[in-house]
């Protein structure tokens, strides 16, 4: 009688299960020193997730929180640029790989710090690059796990994870670590609302705690006269209502946000008193309350 | 059959050798590149591990177009690398070099050696693999 799968004892010595458990053990040990882990997601590209993440990190760090940022957008990394750490060398010690250090001691890890040049895409060694695409997703999930488990994050109050556009990365992360929640970023447009709605449903399917919705580019701030004009015709409130999420903040678009982003200087610190700066600060305060005040200690 | 050794990957393929514990008869199974890459992408090591993986092992060994000098390591005191060993180290991908330097220097120091030579690198590789 031929052997069935269940008749085969072990895996020829590789002990794959133990190896995977060991990975998970290292990840748990590393993340045990991080009090809160929050993903910033949207489902759609171009809504300003990364800029929002960088500014929230800066505000919370300025308030005395120990903050880390993991650029989980492996293919389109921008956090190194936004937080002014491009070109920094990552120090290696027995503790692991030390993240780059941004303004106010924000610890940053991004594939941008590892790639050879500005235009270098994220590719993996393979006999042919056509082959590489077949297992690319697995490779990226493993890379994320290594960034989380092998980086010497140290003791952090908050680790923000800046996700790439699209819905699938959030379930991947939720499978890797115990997320304390996710912020959903949108802009007031019907297209964004449609895509965000889908990613909200997917997040719920995977049991991710959605902290709320952030409406970015909620109006255009004229830096000359200070008036706030409409930028997109939609509104985040009805989208929040339709998604069953609280609307945590509405951030107007200020052209200086892009100027600061290009120079790696957090806008919210440089223009704290502007309407967008105040809106970002209010959002950070709301996030702070959700994570630490409103019975959130889990 | 018991697991004996792993050769490769070479051109994407790995040879996994198993041997009969009684008569010594050995059989090598060749993986196709796609299977090899899939297993490697999980970060697991065929044949098991004697030592835990080094930090960013998969990223360092698999990322294409790595930045020179992206990683730096504090120099290990009391260990000198001879020219031939240094040249061999340079053949590794940029992100793999600092880790290998740190691990091999530590290996040398723990054994009371003050010089890293290609022979010592072979010895380390036979024991740990890198």
Q: What's A233's DSSP letter?
A: S
Give the minimum alpha-carbon distance from B84 to chain A in angstroms, rounded to a whole number.
24
Q: Closest partner residue to B33 among A117, A127, A151, by Cβ?
A: A127
- A94-113 as b/e: b if 16+ CB within 10 A: eebbbbbebbbebbbbbbbb
Two structure tokens written together for A215: 């409406």
How much of chain B exceeds pLDDT 90, in percent? 45
Instruction: Give me the pLDDT at residue A295, please.
Output: 57
Interface probe, candidates B43, B50, B103, chain A, greatest A C-beta count within 10 A? B43
A116 to B59: CB separation less than 8 angstroms, yes or no: no
If you count them, how many residues does chain B have?
130
Q: How confident is the model over A97-153, as pLDDT tens digits?
A: 999 999 999 999 999 999 998 888 898 887 766 767 778 888 999 999 999 999 999
Please state, rounded to an integer, the average pLDDT across all residues of chain A: 90
Query: How far apart are alpha carbons A159 and A168 in whole angstroms?
Result: 20
Higher-pLDDT residue of A93, B117: B117
Give the minimum alpha-carbon distance from B101 to chain A in angstroms, rounded to a whole number.
11
**Residues of chain B with a CB closer than 8 angstroms to some CB in chain A:** 1-3, 11-12, 16, 18, 33-34, 37-38, 41-49, 52-53, 55-59, 61-74, 95, 98-99, 102
Lowest mean pLDDT: which of A89-103, A178-192, A230-244, A253-267?
A230-244
Give the minimum alpha-carbon distance from B45 to chain A in angstroms, rounded to a whole number.
7
Mean pLDDT score, A189-216 = 89
Interface probe, candidates B28, B61, B67, chain A, greatest A C-beta count within 10 A? B67
Higher-pLDDT residue of A234, A20: A20
Mean pLDDT score, B71-100 = 90
**Residues of chain A with a CB closer than 8 angstroms to some CB in chain B:** 12-16, 18-20, 22-23, 26, 89-93, 96-97, 111, 113-117, 120-127, 131-132, 134-135, 138-139, 142-143, 145-147, 150-151
Mean pLDDT score, B44-63 = 86
Query: How far apart are alpha carbons A221 and A254 in whole angstroms?
Result: 5
Q: With contacts defined as CB-CB under 8 Å, which chain B residues touch A122? A: 63
Query: How far apart are alpha carbons A70 and A57 in whole angstroms?
Result: 11
Higher-pLDDT residue of B8, A24: A24
> Residue B119: which of B91, B90, B96, B85 has the closest Cα?
B85
> Residue A287: which of A48, A61, A30, A31 has the closest Cα?
A61
A125 to B98: CB separation less than 8 angstroms, yes or no: no
Instruction: Give me the pLDDT at residue B13, please.
Output: 82
> Residue B24: which of B4, B41, B40 has the closest Cα?
B4
Q: With contacts defined as CB-CB under 8 Å, which chain B residues touch A12? A: 1, 3, 16, 18, 47
Q: With contacts defined as CB-CB under 8 Å, which chain A residues touch B57? A: 146, 150
Interface probe, candidates B42, B97, B103, B129, chain A, greatest A C-beta count within 10 A? B42
Instruction: Give me the pLDDT at residue A272, please.
Output: 96
Contact present, B36 and B12 (Cβ < 8 Å): yes
Q: For chains A and B, count residue pairs whose Cβ atoms are closer than 8 Å.
A: 134
pLDDT over 80 at A294, yes or no: no
Higher-pLDDT residue of A128, A253: A253
Q: Which residues contact A71 (CB under 8 A, 6 or more apart)?
A: A50, A77, A78, A79, A80, A108, A109, A110, A111, A112, A162
pLDDT over 80 at A202, yes or no: yes
pLDDT over 50 at A207, yes or no: yes
Instruction: Give me the pLDDT at residue A298, please.
Output: 42
Q: With contacts defined as CB-CB under 8 Å, which chain A residues touch B72? A: 89-92
Instruction: Give me the pLDDT at residue A6, please.
Output: 62
Res. A189 pLDDT band, cuts 50 70 90: confident
A91 to B72: CB separation less than 8 angstroms, yes or no: yes
DSSP string, A121-147: ---B--SSHHHHTTSHHHHHHHHHHHH
How much of chain A exceeds pLDDT 90, in percent? 64
């Amino acid at each position: 009688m031929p052997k069935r799968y269940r008749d085969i004892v072990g895996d020829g010595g590789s002990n794959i299960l133990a190896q995977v458990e060991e990975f998970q053990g290292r990840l748990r040990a590393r993340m045990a020193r991080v009090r809160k882990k929050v993903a910033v997601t949207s489902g759609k590209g171009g809504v300003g997730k990364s800029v929002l993440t960088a500014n929230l990190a800066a505000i919370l760090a300025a308030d005395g929180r120990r903050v880390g940022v993991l650029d989980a957008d492996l293919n389109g990394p921008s956090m190194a640029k936004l937080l002014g750490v491009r070109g920094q060398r990552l120090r290696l010690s027995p503790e692991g790989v030390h993240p780059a250090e941004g303004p106010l001691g924000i610890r940053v890890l991004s594939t941008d710090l590892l790639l050879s040049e500005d235009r270098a895409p994220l590719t993996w060694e393979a006999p042919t690059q056509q082959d590489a695409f077949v297992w690319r997703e697995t490779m990226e999930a493993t890379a994320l796990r290594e960034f989380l488990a092998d980086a010497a994050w140290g003791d952090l109050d908050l680790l923000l994870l800046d996700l790439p556009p699209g819905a699938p990365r959030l379930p991947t992360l939720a499978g890797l670590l115990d997320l304390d929640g996710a912020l959903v970023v949108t802009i007031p447009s019907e297209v964004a609302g449609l895509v965000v709605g889908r990613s909200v449903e997917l997040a719920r399917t995977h049991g991710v705690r959605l902290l709320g919705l952030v409406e970015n580019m909620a109006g255009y701030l004229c830096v000359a006269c200070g008036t706030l004009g409409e930028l997109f015709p939609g509104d985040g409130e009805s989208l929040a209502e339709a998604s069953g999420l609280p609307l945590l903040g509405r951030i107007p678009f200020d052209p200086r946000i892009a100027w600061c982003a290009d120079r790696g200087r957090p806008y919210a610190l440089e223009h704290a008193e502007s309407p967008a700066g105040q809106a970002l600060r209010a959002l950070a305060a709301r996030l702070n309350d959700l994570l630490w005040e409103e019975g959130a200690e889990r | 059959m018991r697991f004996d050794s792993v050769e490769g990957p070479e051109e994407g393929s790995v040879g996994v050798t198993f041997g009969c514990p009684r008569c010594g008869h050995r059989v090598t199974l060749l993986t196709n590149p796609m299977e090899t890459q899939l297993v490697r992408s999980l970060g697991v090591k065929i044949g098991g591990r004697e030592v835990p993986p080094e930090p960013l092992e998969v990223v360092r060994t698999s990322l294409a177009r790595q930045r020179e000098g992206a990683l730096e390591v504090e120099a290990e005191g009391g260990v000198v690398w001879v020219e031939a060993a240094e040249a061999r180290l340079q053949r590794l991908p940029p992100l793999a070099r600092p880790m290998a330097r740190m691990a091999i220097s530590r290996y040398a120091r723990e054994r009371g050696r003050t010089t890293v030579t290609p022979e010592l690198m072979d010895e380390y590789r036979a024991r740990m693999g890198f």
